[in-house]
């Protein structure tokens, strides 16, 4: 038996209390950061407050309906979603194995499904944040290119401050959700669940991609600090020129008044 797990990231934090009260599916697990609903036997929905929704063995039409329902409940804007697929093969005769985008396992349980969905939720959230950081990185590269070719860059003043705010907001979102990269509580006293969680995290490159994301954001931050310093220096130089011109005009006025 094969189950397909599909994860989406909606780009916004999700109000789990509102969703729990309004979604009609059977909620089998709830905490402040995660909801788990049962659609039918061995088919589940995982909703995570940092913006990810994961479907375990749920058909595409139902996925679309649920995402639209979540958007309507929380009044979220429609936008293209980050998406990630992963397959689980359940075979009582097979040996446990995690290979690329597939997990082979003897039997499935709610806790195992929860671990799988959690890792896919983390992975698709990382995809979203990496995409956002790459946009910032590419824009920063363009400003650096302008500085190299023209000796100046086009982003200044309020636009530069808004750009810095965008970077800080993205870093704050990642910091706010940093707990998603910790091992879930249910793995602490269950060696088998811990093995599955560790193997999935390694196969999906969770830690490596998170480190790469932080490096990209640090690169953007360092560039913006340089742009800000250059901008402030340019502004100070302009003020100095204005002061010099005003002094010169005042001196000229004094000289002219004495001559006349």
Q: What is the pLDDT of residue 12?
A: 78
Among 77, 109, 141, where does a domain finish? 109
Residue 96 within a domain: yes
Taking each helix axis as running N to C, give the angle between helix 157-176 and helix 110-150, from 0 to 180 degrees, rounded to the nearest 10: 160
- Residues of the chain under the 50 pLDDT cut: 236-237
Same domain, 127 and 71: no
State how far the Cα of 17 lies from the Cα of 111, in Å rounded to an integer. 22
**Backbone phi, then psi, for 76, in 5-degree steps?**
-90, 150
CATH of the domain at 40: 3.30.310
Mark whether 53 and 89 lie in a shared domain: yes
Residue 51 domain-assigned (yes or no): yes
In terms of domains, do 216 and 188 share one?
yes
Instruction: With CA atoms as reference, report the closest residue to 174 among 201, 207, 210, 208.
Output: 210
Per-residue pLDDT, 189 = 83
**In which domain, by residue range, is 80 found?**
2-109
For residue 241, the model assigns a pLDDT of 54
Q: What is the pTM of this model?
A: 0.80
**Are both 65 and 128 inside the same structural domain?**
no
User: Quick one: pLDDT at residue 71?
Assistant: 93
Partnered with residue 34 across adjacent β-strands are 31, 48
Q: Kindly state whether residues 144 and 98 are assigned to the same domain.
A: no
Segment 2-23, tens digit of pLDDT? 889 999 999 878 999 999 999 9
Domain check: are 62 and 139 in the same one?
no
Q: Identify whether the C-beta of residue 115 lies closer than 8 Å to the C-beta of residue 54.
A: no
d(CA 78, CA 242): 50
Query: What does the pLDDT read at residue 187?
Result: 81
Q: What is the pLDDT of residue 247?
A: 63
What total of structural domains would you count in the chain?
A: 2
Instruction: Looking at the structure, tell me whether residues 29 and 76 fall in a common domain.
Output: yes
Q: Is residue 234 part of a domain?
A: yes
- Round to whole Å and give the CA distance between 100 and 187: 22
| Residue 114, in any domain of the structure | no
pLDDT at 246: 60
18: which residues sit within 8 A by CB, 6+ positions away? 73, 74
Give residue 199's pLDDT: 93
Quick one: 100 and 180 in the same domain?
no
């Amino acid at each position: 038996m094969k189950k397909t797990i599909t994860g989406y990231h909606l780009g916004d934090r999700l109000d789990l209390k509102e969703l729990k009260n309004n979604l009609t599916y059977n909620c089998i697990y709830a905490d402040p950061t995660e909801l788990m609903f049962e659609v039918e036997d061995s088919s589940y929905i995982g909703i995570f407050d940092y913006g990810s929704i994961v479907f375990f063995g749920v058909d595409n039409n139902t996925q679309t309906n649920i995402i639209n329902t979540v958007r309507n409940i929380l009044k979220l804007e429609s936008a293209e979603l980050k998406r990630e697929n992963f397959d689980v093969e359940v075979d009582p005769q097979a040996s446990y194995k995690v290979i690329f985008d597939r997990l082979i396992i003897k039997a499935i349980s709610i806790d195992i499904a929860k671990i799988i969905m959690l890792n896919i939720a983390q992975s698709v959230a990382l995809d979203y944040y990496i995409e956002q950081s790459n946009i910032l990185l590419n824009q920063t590269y363009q400003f650096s290119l302008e500085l190299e070719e023209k000796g100046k860059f086009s982003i200044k003043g309020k636009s530069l401050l808004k750009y810095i705010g965008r970077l800080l907001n993205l870093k704050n979102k990642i910091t706010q959700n940093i707990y998603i990269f910790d091992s879930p509580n249910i793995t602490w006293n269950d060696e088998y669940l811990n093995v599955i969680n560790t193997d999935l995290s390694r196969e999906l490159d969770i830690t490596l991609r998170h480190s790469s994301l932080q490096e990209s954001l640090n690169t953007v931050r360092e560039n913006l600090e340089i742009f800000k310093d250059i901008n402030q220096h340019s502004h100070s130089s302009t003020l100095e020129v204005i002061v010099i011109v005003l002094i010169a005009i005042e001196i000229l006025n004094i000289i002219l008044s004495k001559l006349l």
